[in-house]
Amino acid sequence: MELQNKATNLWGNFFKVSMVQIRTFHMTWFAFFSAFFAWFGIAPMMVVIREELHLTKEQVGWSIIASVAVTVFARFFIGWLCDRIGPRLAYTYLLLFGAIPVAGIGLADSFESFLVFRLLIGIIGASFVITQYHTSVMFAPNVVGQANATSAGWGNLGGGVTQLVMPLMFSAFVIGFGFTDAEAWRASMVVVGTVIFFTGIAYFFLTQDAPDGNFKELREKGLLPEKKEVTGSYLNAMKDYRIWILFLIYGACFGIELTVNNVAALYFFDYFEVDMVTAGMIAACFGLMNIFARTLGGLFADNCASLWGLKGRAYWLFIVLLGEGFALMLFSQMSVLFLAIPTLIIFSLFTQMAEGATYSVVPFINKKALGAVSGVVGAGGNAGAVAAGFLFKGAMEWNEVFFVIGVVVSIASFLTFFLRFTPEQELEEKVAFEKANMDVLQTKADQANAAVERSLKIITEAEKS
């Protein structure tokens, strides 16, 4: 069943938080931002942690893999959970329980304990699936690409902000409070854990599952399938080959973003000989592009859909994914800092546009099992990060690893040509797209008429007086 009363206008209603769709949009990107910040909060401080815990290059590599490995399974599960209990409760539970290992990593005193906490923290990476699920059920086809891309992009921004903020927070604890380095990085993670705990509470009270109510109420009214049907729909959806193509494609874009978030600060510290704060600031350039780059990916995908239908979304995905691969190969060849930074930014632009373009396709694969599609494709991102992580723990130099990954991404871009839609689905989505656009035009016309009526009323009253 198709949920009703989805918002047809994002930017025109951007500040109307009285609308549940807009309020949910803002809560979901902020929740993902907080989770992403916490997920990679440890990365910019690895320079200090590596020294304190005496970690070898291989152990650093294993910690990178651990941070993203468990998220693969968490995203599979959380997609099913969204279909079952709704995104509101799923997000609340994830943030409340995820806060425990985020704050608890301060107890780590060896490689083994650090690895376990890093593994557990990875569970909050499943927050991305809920973010995409929640905006997909709140927004109509004409803006769903933009809504998904922007909520995810601003959430991913946490990966850039954490590269800036965590070294500064660390320094504040050392300089302002006299903490040792070991105490400072631990205290910083406790602060972050506290933030996501309270964000989880806010999510429960400020959002609802769908425009017309929560899943429990909608099931009681017969507007949603029963819980017992969720697992069957999930398994049926996983038989669709297009989900697994998107799984691989998302591994080639978001998986690479995760990897770069983990290694960028260390890469610039070791290869360009800058200090920890500077390395963090440079690494932040990659994540900070999320403030607009992923939105661009979804915006252009929606525009391509208006011209060429669902296949237009796939064509755009091919272009940005191929651009990502070429840009990464170019970045790997940079040996001087003033060339490496702008190349990193170009690579980031294409990577995040590819992510936005991917999730502009996701809502149209299987509407009856949106959680399954969102979860499986999201898991692909982490599977890609795990695969890339093994390369970084090997014998190759890191710049050589970047080049190899760039080649793989370029090859993966051609998978987009296998994303096919039936003529019936193309027609159905074209009608839905045009209807949503008509709703926008009608709303603008109503607003214009209301403004004219107000003006006439003022003129009439002025003439009477």
Spell out the domains of the chain, with CATH numbers in brackets: 20-421 (1.20.1250.20)
The mean per-residue pLDDT over the stretch 287-312 comes to 90
pLDDT for 263 equals 86
Q: Name the amino acid, one letter, at 262.
A: N
**Separation CA 47–CA 216 (nearest Å):** 47
Checking if the pLDDT of 159 tops 90, the result is no
- Tell me the pLDDT tens digit for each residue of 227-246: 888 888 888 888 999 999 99
pTM of the model: 0.81
Checking if the pLDDT of 203 tops 90, the result is yes
* 3-state SS record for the chain: CCCCCCECCCCCCCCCCCCHHHHHHHHHHHHHHHHHHHHCCCHHHHHHHHHHCCCCHHHHHHHHHHHHHHHHHHHHHHHHHHHHHCHHHHHHHHHHHHHHHHHHHHHCCCHHHHHHHHHHHHHHHHHHHHHHHHHHHHECCCCHHHHHHHHHHHHHHHHHHHHHHHHHHHHHHHHHHCCCHHHHHHHHHHHHHHHHHHHHHHHHHHCCCECCECHHHHHHCCCCCCHHHHHHHHHHHCCCHHHHHHHHHHHHHHHHHHHHHHHHHHHHHHHCCCCHHHHHHHHHHHHHHHHCHHHHHHHHHHHHHHHHCHHHHHHHHHHHHHHHHHHHHHHHCCCCHHHHHHHHHHHHHHHHHHHHHHHHHHHHCCHHHHHHHHHHHHHHHHHHHHHHHHHHCCCCCHHHHHHHHHHHHHHHHHHHHHCCCCHHHHHHHHHHHHHHHHHHHHHHHHHHHHHHHHHHHHHHHHHHC
- Tell me the pLDDT tens digit for each residue of 421-431: 888 888 888 88
The mean per-residue pLDDT over the stretch 70-90 comes to 92
Distant-in-sequence, close-in-space partners of 238: CB < 8 Å, separation ≥ 6: 372, 376
- Report the chain's mean pLDDT, rounded to a whole number: 90
pLDDT for 2 equals 62
Cα distances from 25 to residues 12, 208, 220, 375, in angstroms, run 14, 11, 25, 19
Which residue has 């990178």 as its token pair?
A: 64
Q: How many CB atoms lie within 10 A of CB 390?
A: 13
Nearest to residue 276, comparing CAs of 285, 286, 266? 266
pLDDT for 18 equals 94
pLDDT for 465 equals 64
- Tell me the pLDDT tens digit for each residue of 26-35: 999 999 999 9
Q: How confident is the model at residue 61 (pLDDT cuts 50, 70, 90)?
A: confident
Considering only the C-alpha atoms of the chain, give the largest distance between any 2 of them, rounded to a whole number of Å. Answer: 87
CB 63 within 8 A of CB 121: no
CB 195 within 8 A of CB 34: yes
The mean per-residue pLDDT over the stretch 44-64 comes to 88
**Separation CA 142–CA 198 (nearest Å):** 33
Q: What's the token pair of residue 463?
A: 């003439």
The mean per-residue pLDDT over the stretch 288-309 comes to 90
Least trusted range by pLDDT, from 168-172, 182-186, 289-293, 456-460: 456-460
Cα distances from 110 to residues 44, 52, 183, 377, in angstroms, run 19, 9, 15, 34
pLDDT for 190 equals 95
pLDDT for 1 equals 46
Give the residue, 157 or 131, on which the prediction is more confident: 131
Q: How confident is the model at residue 38 (pLDDT cuts 50, 70, 90)?
A: very high
Percent of the chain, pLDDT > 90? 55
Distant-in-sequence, close-in-space partners of 248: CB < 8 Å, separation ≥ 6: 380, 384, 412, 415
- Tell me the pLDDT tens digit for each residue of 364-399: 998 888 888 989 999 999 899 889 988 887 778 999
The mean per-residue pLDDT over the stretch 161-190 comes to 92
Q: How many CB atoms lie within 10 A of CB 2?
A: 9
**Separation CA 446–CA 453 (nearest Å):** 10
Cα distances from 66 to residues 52, 125, 194, 386, 451, in angstroms, run 19, 12, 22, 8, 57
